[in-house]
Amino acid sequence: MEFRDTQTQDTTGSEEMTDDAQPDAEEQDENYELLAFEWVDAHIIELNERCNESIGNGITELLLQSDELPVPDSWPDICRELERADIKEAAAVPEGIKINLLQ
């Protein structure tokens, strides 16, 4: 019986580790949302100027290169934040984030 108790305790310990791992994944998502919000907030004036300049030059798309963006995992959240900031058509692409200027 002592052996069974040890197995039960190990299983319980494993379940606790699994439960602890799930909030970490959720915290990462929240961190990307915060990162995206902060990045857009810090760059929105520059982005608006670049969009306006591109539209004035007849350019229909603006590509934000990967080297000017945070980690690629944050790009979908950045696109959502750009939409909240009235840049409606932004999409993550392998090269970075593409903004459609024909809105």
Each residue of 82-101: pLDDT tens digit?
999 999 899 999 999 999 99
pLDDT above 90 for 27: no
Q: How much is the pLDDT for 79?
A: 97
Calculate mean pLDDT across residues 36-65. 96
DSSP element (H, E) containing 103: none
pLDDT of 31 reads: 77
Share of the chain above pLDDT 90, in %: 67
CA proximity to 90, closest of 43, 29, 34, 25: 43
User: What integer pLDDT is reported at residue 25 of this predicted model?
Assistant: 53
30 pLDDT band, cuts 50/70/90, is: low
In this structure, are residues 41 and 91 in contact, taking their beta carbons and an 8 Å threshold?
A: no
Residue 15: is its pLDDT beyond 90? no
DSSP string, 13-77: HHHHHHHHHHHHHHHHHHHHHHHHHHHHHHHHHHHHHHHHHHHHTT--EEEEEGGGSS-GGGHHH
pTM of the model: 0.70
What is the predicted pLDDT for the residue at 50? 96
**Mean pLDDT computed over every residue of the chain:** 82
Q: Where are the domains of the chain?
A: 2-100
